[in-house]
């Protein structure tokens, strides 16, 4: 038993203390968080734009078609582009998108973290767009009618009436996307970025210990996700409360 | 009726077991392996000319050496293509019998596994773009260096130039793509694959000065001492019979090999 | 041009490439200060007609001339004209994320540039009118159906409309709450507001209606003063309809 414990302590020392290898884990964790947070920001902005175009077309397209004119043509082209974007991004693995971004599209960007942020941001944008769209679609049509009847135009109705309600609806799902995204960024190592998973790999490559680095990496992800899930529960509780009031 | 059927069935099962055991005993190798009659090797087939994918299978110096070893030991060769960083762990945990992947014997690795006698000399060289101002290894200070993750080049560069200047790619080809794309200023990698990459790509060159010279060996689990002895015996035989040189020459032209001999 | 506030000319609304005719050629003039009550069986097109008046439903063809402008013309910005047409819905459609005060002041402050204080003052005035000044800071979810509908009326009035459109305003209410909403509407009518009301409340039609209209099959079947309308219905389908609802 003591022997087993000693060997465990020895492994721990080799994996994390020797050569300050814990610093890799810390750096990796930092990069994982940076990539996730900024990618989600890009995702939300992109998602709002795509969702706005798509739901405008869904809800308003018929009326605009009757009126015709350049606005309708723009909307149709925009809707087509958005659909193409969603199909391509959701139809291909994120790791392939990341490599295409790194080796082909953003060839001049040497900062791997930045490339990862952009790639994951665009990927996340596609999923966030559908989250927002379903949120907008979940709002009772009567809300749009009420807004329009008061004289708000479509965009004003969206901004003042629909989106504030939709945000409440999608907040839990959006938060869930954050949790998914954290785990998805574990492929950032494919483009030479030192994220949490890669830090574990690096320790594994140096020490040839599989157990300790892998479990340490898993544990860190797990702790982050557990914390975020707790926060999500609190948010959900608050939202339910404000509905009942 | 039912009883008779059951006893016949039991007898049949017993007979089958006895037969199969004798069958195994007849084919059993002189050394014990993970899988009876099979030599399971772990490699990372992204390291030409030592190991790479060819058609549906694998080829390269290491693969052929492993084949010669398996043949000498009366075993069937089975190649497992895994991440470079997972090879030693896999051998240590008894998933594979040996690891052969252009691997250098280091103090650190010796803590986890045993190594055979050296079967080849590896040289870590520096690949740069033809118009690069990097002339020698000393010029690498403060520059962005691309490496294959967990290789000796990676370990040495991290130690010499700092983690923050080293970009670790999953394989050598990606490191070279990173160099072409301008993500890194140079790639430090083994001499043999370096030649293949430079030959295949316009505008790249290998610096004349080597970065590190290292000796390649096969890794074997610490418990498998009989396998280690057997493999060392086979390597010795292969060297004496000239078979080893034959294999190396098949993949690397004689002239280049002579150069390498001189640099030693 | 006569003194009509709204002139509807040959209004048509077809669905499904003309297979379904929700509105099949409606003509009507509505004068200032009139209270026009529209009744008819469900699915007769009366709600579609009301929602077409402010283009919440896009008519297939026809003219809706409101204050001299054909708002169904594609070159007209309907949003400006909608500000002058208040609407009250069957299901209230209050904004659940805003307080009562927020519901009432949203449109005036955002669309008319009225200051927050002025908007609040006007809102409190309207809340007194609907007898709910104590609910200013409540959220819609805390209100009863009748209270919600009275707030919805106040919200529409806050834009100082020239006409009020009511789409079955009491149909979704519990019976004991119908009275409080009808009282507000009667008060509004007596104050001279032009109103178009789709309803099943025959008592309201008799009491405050200047004209009652019977809709069926997407057309106006009968149109008369309340006394004549209920005492001497001419259209056989209206006779049938009244015999069913006036028991």
Instruction: State pLDDT tens for residues C27-69.
Output: 999 999 999 999 999 888 899 999 999 999 989 999 999 999 9
Of A142, A152, A245, nearest to C111 by CB-CB distance is: A152
Q: Range of B226's domain?
A: 38-119+217-263
Question: What pLDDT is stored for residue B14 in this prediction?
Answer: 54
Same domain flag for B160 and B87: no
Best to test chain C binding among A69, A150, A166, A240 (most C CBs inside 10 Å): A150
State the pLDDT confidence band at B1, using cuts at 50, 70 and 90: low
Chain C residues in contact with A63 (beta carbon < 8 A):
58
Residue C93 to residue A68, Cβ atoms within 8 A: no
Residue B112 to residue A24, Cβ atoms within 8 A: no
Whether C and B touch, i.e. at least 3 CB pairs below 8 A, reads as no
CA distance C119 to chain A (A): 15
Same domain flag for B129 and B156: yes
Domain final position from B214, B231, B249: B214
Strands (E), chain A: none
User: Which of A78-92, A169-183, B30-44 comes out lowest in average pLDDT?
Assistant: B30-44
Could you tell me if residue B166 is inside a domain? Answer: yes
Same domain flag for B110 and B129: no
- As beta bridge partners, residue B213 has B123
CA distance A205 to chain B (A): 4
Question: What pLDDT is stored for residue C1 in this prediction?
Answer: 44
State the pLDDT confidence band at B10, using cuts at 50, 70 and 90: low
State how far the Cα of C84 lies from the Cα of C108, in Å rounded to an integer.
Answer: 12
State the pLDDT confidence band at B123, using cuts at 50, 70 and 90: confident
Of C74, C96, C159, nearest to A151 by CB-CB distance is: C159
* Whether residue B230 has pLDDT greater than 80: yes
State the pLDDT confidence band at A245, using cuts at 50, 70 and 90: very low
Residue A245 to residue C141, Cβ atoms within 8 A: yes
Counting one residue from chain A and one from chain B, the pairs whose CB atoms sit within 8 A come to: 66
Task: Count how many domains chain B has.
Answer: 2
CB of A20 within 8 Å of any CB in chain B?
Answer: no
Where residue B248 sits, what CATH number does that domain have? Answer: 3.40.190.10
State how far the Cα of A21 lies from the Cα of A28, in Å rounded to an integer.
Answer: 11
Same domain flag for B209 and B222: no
Helix-strand-coil split of chain C, %, nearest 5: 40, 25, 35
Could you tell me if residue B257 is inside a domain? Answer: yes
Question: What pLDDT is stored for residue B25 in this prediction?
Answer: 40
Q: What is the mean pLDDT of residues B148-168?
A: 87
Q: What is the CA radius of gyration of chain C?
A: 18
Chain A residues in contact with C83 (beta carbon < 8 A):
150-151
- At B140 the three-state DSSP class reads helix
Question: What pLDDT is stored for residue C48 in this prediction?
Answer: 92
Chains near A with 3+ CB pairs less than 8 A apart are B, C
| pLDDT tens per residue across span A111-124 | 899 999 999 999 99
State how far the Cα of B144 lies from the Cα of A154, in Å rounded to an integer.
Answer: 52
Chain B residues in contact with A107 (beta carbon < 8 A):
181-182
| pLDDT tens per residue across span B46-99 | 777 788 888 788 888 999 999 999 999 999 999 998 888 889 989 998 899 999
Q: What is the mean pLDDT of residues B30-49?
A: 85
State the pLDDT confidence band at A241, using cuts at 50, 70 and 90: low
Average pLDDT, chain B: 82
Quick check: C153 and C138 in contact, CB under 8 A?
no
Question: What pLDDT is stored for residue C181 in this prediction?
Answer: 95
For residue B148, the surrounding DSSP H or E stretch is strand B145-148
Q: What is the mean pLDDT of residues B120-140?
A: 90
Chain A residues in contact with B113 (beta carbon < 8 A):
208
Q: Which residue has the tokens 């050394």?
A: B31
Q: What is the mean pLDDT of residues B138-155?
A: 89
User: Which of A182-196, A229-243, C69-83, C87-101 comes out lowest in average pLDDT?
Assistant: A229-243
Could you tell me if residue B18 is inside a domain? Answer: no
Residue C95 to residue A152, Cβ atoms within 8 A: no
Does the pTM surpass 0.80? The reply is: no
Best to test chain B binding among A7, A27, A205, A209 (most B CBs inside 10 Å): A205
Question: What pLDDT is stored for residue C62 in this prediction?
Answer: 93
Question: What pLDDT is stored for residue B17 in this prediction?
Answer: 52
Same domain flag for B224 and B108: yes
Could you tell me if residue B10 is inside a domain? Answer: no
Domain spans of chain A?
8-242
Residue C89 to residue A152, Cβ atoms within 8 A: no
- Considering chain C, what percentage of its residues have pLDDT values greater than 70? 98
| pLDDT tens per residue across span B188-199 | 998 888 988 898
Question: What pLDDT is stored for residue B2 in this prediction?
Answer: 55
Of A63, A146, A151, nearest to C83 by CB-CB distance is: A151
Whether B and A touch, i.e. at least 3 CB pairs below 8 A, reads as yes
Same domain flag for B169 and B207: yes
Q: Between C245 and C153, where is the model more confident?
A: C153
State the pLDDT confidence band at B259, using cuts at 50, 70 and 90: very low
State how far the Cα of A44 lies from the Cα of A36, in Å rounded to an integer.
Answer: 12
Taking alpha carbons only, the member of B209, B194, B65, B214 closest to residue B127 is: B194
Question: What pLDDT is stored for residue A222 in this prediction?
Answer: 96
ipTM: 0.90
Question: What pLDDT is stored for residue A1 in this prediction?
Answer: 74
A175: left (phi over 0), alpha (psi -120 to 50) or beta: alpha
Average pLDDT, chain C: 92
Same domain flag for B173 and B192: yes
State how far the Cα of B38 lies from the Cα of B240, in Å rounded to an integer.
Answer: 25
Question: What pLDDT is stored for residue B261 in this prediction?
Answer: 39
State the pLDDT confidence band at B260, using cuts at 50, 70 and 90: very low
Could you tell me if residue B103 is inside a domain? Answer: yes
CB of A150 within 8 Å of any CB in chain C?
Answer: yes
Chains near C with 3+ CB pairs less than 8 A apart are A
Question: What pLDDT is stored for residue A32 in this prediction?
Answer: 96
Residue A205 to residue B183, Cβ atoms within 8 A: no
Overall residue count recorded for chain B in this entry: 264
State how far the Cα of A215 lies from the Cα of A226, in Å rounded to an integer.
Answer: 16
Best to test chain A binding among C97, C105, C110, C160 (most A CBs inside 10 Å): C97
Same domain flag for B52 and B180: no
Of C56, C74, C89, nearest to A67 by CB-CB distance is: C74
Q: What are phi and psi of A217, to 5 degrees?
A: -60, -45
Could you tell me if residue B256 is inside a domain? Answer: yes
* Whether residue C104 has pLDDT greater than 70: yes
Which residues of B sit within 8 Å Cβ distance of A?
83-86, 88-89, 92-93, 108-109, 111-113, 144, 146, 149-150, 154-155, 163, 167-170, 174, 177-178, 181-184
Same domain flag for B142 and B161: yes
Q: Between C218 and C17, where is the model more confident?
A: C218
Residue A149 to residue C142, Cβ atoms within 8 A: no
| pLDDT tens per residue across span C5-15 | 999 999 999 98
* Whether residue A34 has pLDDT greater than 90: yes
Residue A66 to residue C155, Cβ atoms within 8 A: no
CATH class of the structural domain A8-242: mainly alpha
| pLDDT tens per residue across span A61-104 | 777 776 677 888 888 999 999 999 999 999 999 999 999 999 89
């Amino acid at each position: 038993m003591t022997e087993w414990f000693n060997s465990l302590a020895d492994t721990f020392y080799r994996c994390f203390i020797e050569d300050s290898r814990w610093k890799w884990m810390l750096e990796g964790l930092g990069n994982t968080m940076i990539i996730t947070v900024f990618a989600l920001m890009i995702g939300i902005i992109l998602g709002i734009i795509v969702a706005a175009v798509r739901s405008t077309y869904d809800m308003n397209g018929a009326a605009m078609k009757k009126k015709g004119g350049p606005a309708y043509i723009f909307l149709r082209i925009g809707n087509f582009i958005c659909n193409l974007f969603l199909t391509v991004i959701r139809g291909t693995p994120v790791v392939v998108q990341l490599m295409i971004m790194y080796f082909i599209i953003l060839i001049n960007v040497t900062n791997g973290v930045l490339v990862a942020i952009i790639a994951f941001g665009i990927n996340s944008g596609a999923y966030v767009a559908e989250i927002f769209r379903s949120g907008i679609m979940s709002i009772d049509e009567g809300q749009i009618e009420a807004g329009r009847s008061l004289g708000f135009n479509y965009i004003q109705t969206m901004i003042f009436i629909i989106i504030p309600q939709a945000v409440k609806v999608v907040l839990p799902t959006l938060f869930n996307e954050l949790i998914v995204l954290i785990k998805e960024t574990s492929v950032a190592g494919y483009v030479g970025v030192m994220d949490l998973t890669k830090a574990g790999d690096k320790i594994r490559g140096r020490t040839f210990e599989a157990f300790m680095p892998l479990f340490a990496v898993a544990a860190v992800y797990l702790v982050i996700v557990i914390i975020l899930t707790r926060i999500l529960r609190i948010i959900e509780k608050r939202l339910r409360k404000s509905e009942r009031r | 009726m039912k009883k008779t059927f059951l006893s016949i069935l039991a007898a049949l099962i017993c007979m089958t077991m006895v037969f199969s055991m004798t069958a195994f005993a007849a084919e059993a190798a002189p050394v014990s392996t993970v899988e009876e009659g099979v030599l399971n090797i772990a490699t990372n087939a992204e390291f030409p000319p030592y190991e790479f994918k060819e058609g549906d299978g694998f080829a390269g110096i290491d693969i052929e050496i492993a084949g010669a070893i398996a043949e000498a030991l009366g075993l069937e060769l089975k190649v497992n293509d895994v991440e470079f960083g997972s090879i030693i762990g896999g051998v240590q945990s008894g998933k594979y019998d040996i690891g052969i992947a252009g691997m250098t014997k280091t103090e650190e690795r010796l803590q986890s596994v045993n190594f055979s006698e050296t079967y080849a000399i590896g040289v870590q060289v520096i690949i740069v773009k033809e118009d690069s101002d990097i002339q020698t290894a000393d010029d690498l200070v403060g520059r962005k260096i691309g490496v294959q993750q967990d290789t000796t080049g990676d370990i040495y560069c991290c130690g010499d130039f700092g983690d923050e200047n080293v970009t670790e790619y999953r394989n050598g080809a990606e490191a070279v793509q990173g160099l072409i794309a301008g993500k890194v200023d140079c790639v430090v990698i083994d001499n043999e694959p370096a030649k293949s990459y430079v030959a295949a790509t316009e505008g790249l060159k290998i610096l004349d000065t080597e970065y590190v010279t290292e000796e390649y060996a096969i890794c074997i689990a610490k418990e498998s001492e009989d396998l280690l002895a057997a493999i060392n015996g086979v390597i010795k035989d292969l060297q004496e019979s000239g078979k080893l040189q034959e294999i190396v020459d098949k993949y690397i032209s004689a002239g280049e090999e002579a150069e390498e001999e001189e640099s030693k | 041009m006569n003194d009509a506030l709204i002139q509807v000319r040959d209004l048509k609304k077809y669905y499904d490439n003309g297979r379904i005719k929700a509105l099949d050629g409606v003509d009507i003039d509505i004068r200032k200060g009139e209270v026009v009550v529209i009744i008819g069986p469900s699915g007769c097109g009366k709600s579609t007609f009301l929602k077409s008046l402010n283009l919440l439903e896009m008519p297939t063809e026809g003219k809706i001339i409101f204050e001299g402008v054909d708002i169904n013309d594609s070159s007209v910005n309907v949003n400006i004209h909608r500000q002058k047409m208040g609407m009250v819905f069957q299901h209230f459609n209050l904004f659940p994320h805003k307080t009562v005060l927020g519901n009432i002041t949203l449109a005036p402050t955002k669309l008319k540039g009225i200051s927050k204080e002025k908007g609040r003052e006007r809102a409190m005035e309207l809340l007194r009118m609907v007898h709910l000044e104590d609910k200013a800071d409540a959220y819609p979810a805390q209100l009863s159906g009748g209270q919600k509908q009275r707030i919805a009326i106040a919200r529409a009035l806050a834009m100082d409309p020239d006409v009020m459109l009511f789409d079955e305003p009491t149909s979704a209410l519990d019976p004991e709450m119908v009275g409080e909403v009808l009282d507000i509407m009667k008060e509004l009518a007596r104050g001279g507001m032009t109103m178009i009301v789709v309803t099943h409340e025959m008592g309201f039609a008799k009491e405050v209606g200047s004209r009652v209209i019977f809709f069926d099959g997407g057309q106006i079947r009968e149109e008369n003063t309340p006394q004549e309308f209920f005492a001497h219905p001419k259209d056989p389908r209206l006779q049938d309809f009244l015999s069913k609802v006036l028991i």
